Amino acid sequence: MEKEYMYTLGNMAEEGSISSRIGFGGTKSKMTGLSDQLEQVRNDLEDNFDRKLVYALVGMAGVGKTTLAEEIFEDPHILSIYEHRAWVTVGRKPQKITELSRGIIAQLTKGDEEMDVYFKEIIFDQKRCLIVLDDVWETKVLSSLIDSLASVKNIQILVTARERDIIENITSQRDGLNIMVVRFLNEKESKDLLCRKVFEDEICPSQLDKAATKIAKKCEGLPLMVVTVADILSKSHNRDPDYWDDVAEERNSVFVDAYNEMTKVFFPSYDYLPQYLKMPFLFMGVFPPDYDFPPSKLVNMFTAEGWFLHTNERRALEVSVWHCLEKLCFYKNLVLFNRKSISWHEKIEGLKYKTCRLHSTWRHVCRGEAWKNKFYHVLNRLVDASKRYVKGQRCLCLQNNILFGFKEFCKSVRLNCASTTRSLLFFGPYHQYPTPIDVGFRLLRELDALKLRFYTFPTEILTLVLLKYLALSCNGELPATISKLFNLRVLIIHPHMNIRRCGAPSYIPIQLWDMQELEHIEILGKNLVAPHHVVSLEMLSTLVGVNANTCTILDLSNRIPNIKKLGIQIELTPYDNHYDLSSCFSCISTLESLDTLKCSITNPVVSNSSIVAVTPSSLMFPRGLKKLHLSGMGFPWEYADVIGFLPFLQVLKLRSYAFQGSHWETQRESFLSLEFLLIEDSDLVHWIPRYGSFPKLSYLSMKHCYKLVQLHWPSISMLGKIELVDCNPLAWACASQVKPCPFTHLDVTASSYFDKKPVTHKLQSFGGLMPLEWEDLISSPVFIAEPKWSGSAYLFILSLIVLLGCVLKFYLIKGCLPKLGIQTWGRFAFEWMHRYL
């Protein structure tokens, strides 16, 4: 395979006219959108014109890297700074390095016959040079070009590339490196670009304005997509509102034609992927448009598919999936991530997200390539079940869930691919009326029918004994014969409606404990009991959504020894003994492998008095917890000290009066690893974090804390984002006074939904090293909380730190130090002061 790949790469056809660059502007107009990034690149090149620098613009194909570089290259102010410029398009199959170098030198010397004389003048007279290397695909080529220009001083190299790792793998250490990920356009920029391309100097007609907004939104912020659709609309010369409405609703072929046109630009990025990334990337195309799929769902589905066979346990599988996602998102710029769950700031190491998605253009590419390779086929119409489309397909993904209700469809599918199909996925809009599931696929391993409603459990599924993944929406009882699916690893059962008869609990059958291959159980709203005979699920790593009482948890903790994620709902009545509640956590604390715990009280009762009358020491949690979600407990705030001393806790979410009381003063040096904190629906009035607490907290979210009036945060904080939703206005006043640590940004957002129109206030601040406000610094808890030294000693140490910072900043400006060094030093110095001084 390696020899074949190298032969194909070496004999690759020339790209010809294929280009991802069509242009951002209209006729005689400037670039539309990305003005903020344009200004940032311009300022960076102006500030660092006297030092050697490699500045990289990376991003998805068609996002506007080349257009942005051209705008910089022709900028009048840049022309006044850099006396010599050169532009070279490298491409997938570049010329020899010597030829590229000659082309650069020829442009720098302006093609003069006395090239050597001019080149020596550039070298020895230190003329400032700007060189653009456009569309770089190989690290080796980029390193060679940079090395060939090593003799030129005061040179700035601007690189555009689709993949980030091409830039980061540059071996040369003598050059500064700055990477910018080119962002997508927002909705306003997309619409402006669309209208400029279609109507040129004219204004968009009012009768087309609404449709134009929808069309621009469907392009999902990708400039190449906007321009391609605009080009088709412009050539049609059709200004009929009905035609534009059809385009906006995708009732004609405009978007399909645009996707087909853009495939030529996008496909090389897929073709260059390593083999181990191609199959997971193609599989992401099965998910419907506008659907953000969680990485945990990928782990479960990959388990059923039998991928990553080199992994011996689920934890290793999760690591492999996260490694693939990290590569596809951060280094290859193919997958988009949403809603960060831990870290808000941009960093690669340890970054995890709740959901990810594909751009619609990539979804089109993935589905076309998957169909060619008989990997999977997406069905939306009856004609999609014809022999030409489904013959030999391994996976069927239905975007119209009622198709199995037609006999012709079932007959065609069963005849042409029943023996090869291993996965059946219903990913269309939710269908609330029962639809039959054809069980002619005897070798089926994966069945996802969460978007179908079943009144009772479909017992015909029990004949599919090879199933490893089963997901259903059903309000009926699970049959005891569920244990016939002895190969099942993932079982997901969601109710159609969360309504059940009072006094008639629904139980999970006891036979479930005999299914020893189960790794993931997600059954919402049903009671789980442990059997009398000694049995345990050794493979189970995730158990979420089940109801339990205090007695059940005592037995349950002994039967799931290797659980990593536990989510339970505890039903308490006003007559229950709350001592039993603390004993439940004592049992849960014995689960040594647990890293995520979600525990909520069903229908919590909030009272003015303290609910629990035991000591905080009776509340126990597993020491290895990384994520903790609590809801409805009603514990007094002093109980939070137990959570504060969990050494690895990174995420804490407290909802629905998880803790109760008006005053919370955290203990010294607590919550040392916490990065994300959410407090929602609380009666908290005064919150005073004491010295040394929350040193790593970067994201603070407080929602519906109507009584909160005092947020006494240290004057200098590691916080990066504070979010307030429907909180007391005094909380906004306190949050706006928080100052970030040096070289960090702080975003403070306050939103109110009391009125019909939501009101949002935003505040951004940057923590610079100089100047410092000494009065605020000295009055912060760093100095007033149990000082170990005298005030003179503190001032002396701070003076040394500031003096050292000035020296380092001086050398940074002179180009003797990398920019990252001063940032890292500043963060380390002030974090060290907060913790130890």
Give per-residue pLDDT as tens, 474-507.
888 899 999 999 999 999 999 987 766 666 678 8
Does residue 172 contact residue 180 with C-beta atoms inside 8 Å?
no
Report pLDDT digits (tens) over 58-75. 999 999 999 999 999 998
717 token code pair: 């904080």
Q: How confident is the model at residue 836 (pLDDT cuts 50, 70, 90)?
A: very low
Rounded CA-CA distance 662/682 in Å is: 9
Half-sphere exposure of residue 252: CA atoms within 13 angstroms, side-chain side: 13
How large is the C-alpha radius of gyration of the chain?
30
Which residues touch 407 (CB under 8 Å, ≥6 apart)? none
Report pLDDT digits (tens) over 302-350. 877 777 655 456 677 777 888 888 889 888 989 988 654 444 333 333 4
pLDDT at 555: 77
More confident residue, 642 or 716: 642
Rounded CA-CA distance 459/526 in Å is: 19
The residue type found at 231 is D
Reduced 3-state DSSP string for 281-350: HHHHHHCCCCCCECHHHHHHHHHHHCCCCCCCCHHHHHHHHHHHHHHHHHHCCCCEEEEECCCCCCCCCC
Which residues touch 488 (CB under 8 Å, ≥6 apart)? 467, 468, 469, 470, 515, 517, 518
Does residue 611 have a pLDDT over 60? no
* Main-chain phi, psi angles of 571, to 5 degrees: -95, 115
pLDDT at 444: 92
Does residue 586 have a pLDDT over 90? no
The residue type found at 116 is D
Task: Look up tokens 């130090």; give the residue.
Answer: 817
Q: How confident is the model at residue 594 (pLDDT cuts 50, 70, 90)?
A: very high
Judged by average pLDDT, the poorest of 7-21, 92-106, 144-158, 497-511 is: 7-21
Exposed, middle or buried, 641 (CB in 10 Å: 0-12/13-18/19+)?
middle
pLDDT at 711: 81
More confident residue, 33 or 364: 364
Average pLDDT over residues 402-407: 86
Rounded CA-CA distance 421/794 in Å is: 71
Rounded CA-CA distance 651/676 in Å is: 5
- If you ran DSSP here, which 8-state letter would residue 390 be given? H
Report pLDDT digits (tens) over 363-400. 999 999 999 999 999 999 899 989 899 999 999 999 98
pLDDT at 305: 76
For the chain, the residue count is 837
Rounded CA-CA distance 327/329 in Å is: 6
CA 32, 37, 40: angle at the middle one, nearest 5?
A: 135
Q: How confident is the model at residue 820 (pLDDT cuts 50, 70, 90)?
A: very low
Does residue 29 have a pLDDT over 90? no
Q: How confident is the model at residue 2 (pLDDT cuts 50, 70, 90)?
A: low
60 token code pair: 């998805």
Q: How confident is the model at residue 144 (pLDDT cuts 50, 70, 90)?
A: confident
Report pLDDT digits (tens) over 517-544. 999 999 998 888 877 777 889 889 999 9
Provide the β-strand partners of residue 160: 57
* Biggest distance spanned by C-alpha atoms of the chain: 97
Instruction: Give the distance, in angstroms, between the CA of residue 388 and the centroid of all CA atoms in the same chain.
Output: 37
Sign of torsion over alpha carbons 193, 197, 200, 205? negative
Does residue 493 contact residue 524 with C-beta atoms inside 8 Å?
yes
Candidate ranges 351-360, 678-687, 763-772; pick with highest mean pLDDT: 678-687
**Which phi-psi region, left, alpha or beta, contains residue 136 (left: φ > 0; alpha: ψ -120 to 50)?**
beta
Rounded CA-CA distance 341/651 in Å is: 8
User: Does an H or E element contain 226, and which?
Assistant: helix 223-236
Task: Look up tokens 């689920």; give the residue.
Answer: 314
Please, what is the average pLDDT of the chain? 80
Q: How confident is the model at residue 126 (pLDDT cuts 50, 70, 90)?
A: low
Rounded CA-CA distance 464/468 in Å is: 10
- Helices (runs of H) and strands (runs of E) counted in the chain: 27, 31
The residue type found at 776 is D
CA 83, 85, 89: angle at the middle one, nearest 5?
A: 175
Rounded CA-CA distance 815/557 in Å is: 59
Does residue 765 have a pLDDT over 80? no
Does residue 689 have a pLDDT over 70? yes
Report pLDDT digits (tens) over 645-663. 999 999 999 999 999 889 9
Half-sphere exposure of residue 50: CA atoms within 13 angstroms, side-chain side: 7
Short-list 195, 146, 196, CA closest to 167: 146
Rounded CA-CA distance 636/660 in Å is: 5
Report pLDDT digits (tens) over 175-201. 578 889 999 999 999 999 999 999 887
Rounded CA-CA distance 489/469 in Å is: 6
Exposed, middle or buried, 101 (CB in 10 Å: 0-12/13-18/19+)?
middle
Rounded CA-CA distance 585/47 in Å is: 57
Average pLDDT over residues 791-812: 67
Does residue 377 contact residue 710 with C-beta atoms inside 8 Å?
no
Evaluate the omega torsion of the peptide bond into residue 280 and state whether it is cis, within 30 degrees of 0.
Answer: no
More confident residue, 30 or 482: 482
| Strand ranges inside 614-698, DSSP E | 627-631, 635-636, 651-655, 659-660, 663-665, 676-680, 686-688
Q: Which alpha helices (DSSP H) does 688-771 contain, by range?
A: 729-735
Rounded CA-CA distance 382/406 in Å is: 9
More confident residue, 14 or 189: 189
Instruction: Give the distance, in angstroms, between the CA of residue 783 and the centroid of all CA atoms in the same chain.
Output: 38
Q: Tally Cβ neighbours within 10 Å of residue 5.
A: 11
Does residue 247 contact residue 84 with C-beta atoms inside 8 Å?
no
109 token code pair: 């010397």
Judged by average pLDDT, the poorest of 137-146, 147-156, 265-274 is: 147-156
Q: How confident is the model at residue 244 (pLDDT cuts 50, 70, 90)?
A: very high
* Main-chain phi, psi angles of 339, to 5 degrees: 45, 80
More confident residue, 95 or 271: 271
Average pLDDT over residues 594-611: 75
